[in-house]
Amino acid sequence: MLRRKPTRLELKLDDIEEFEGVRKDLESRKKQREEAEVAAGEEAAGIALGTEHKSREQIINDRIGYKPQPKAGVRAAHFGTFEF
């Protein structure tokens, strides 16, 4: 493999201006997103106070779509088979 001298990169004024413009654009988008999240959080807090409180397990089950069904007669089946 041939070795060569490192390539020199020069930073020009146009590059700096472009970088500053992109950075300001990203910062403004971030601020808008944060403001929207704060507004949505306030609405969600108002809704949460109006509804019944759920346990952490119930919230997770709702989020993933899991609806546990109680098993009927599981204990009776186990204890009913023992004879003394």
pLDDT tens readout for residues 17-67? 999 999 999 999 999 999 888 877 766 655 555 556 778 888 888 889 888
Chain mean position to CA 71: 33
pLDDT tens readout for residues 8-20? 989 999 999 999 9
Distance CA 38, CA 26 (A): 18
pLDDT at 83: 56
pLDDT at 27: 95
Q: For residue 66, give every residue at least 6 positions away whose Cβ sits within 8 Å of its Cβ, in sequence order, or none.
A: 60
Q: What are phi and psi of 37, to 5 degrees?
A: -65, -40
pLDDT at 15: 93
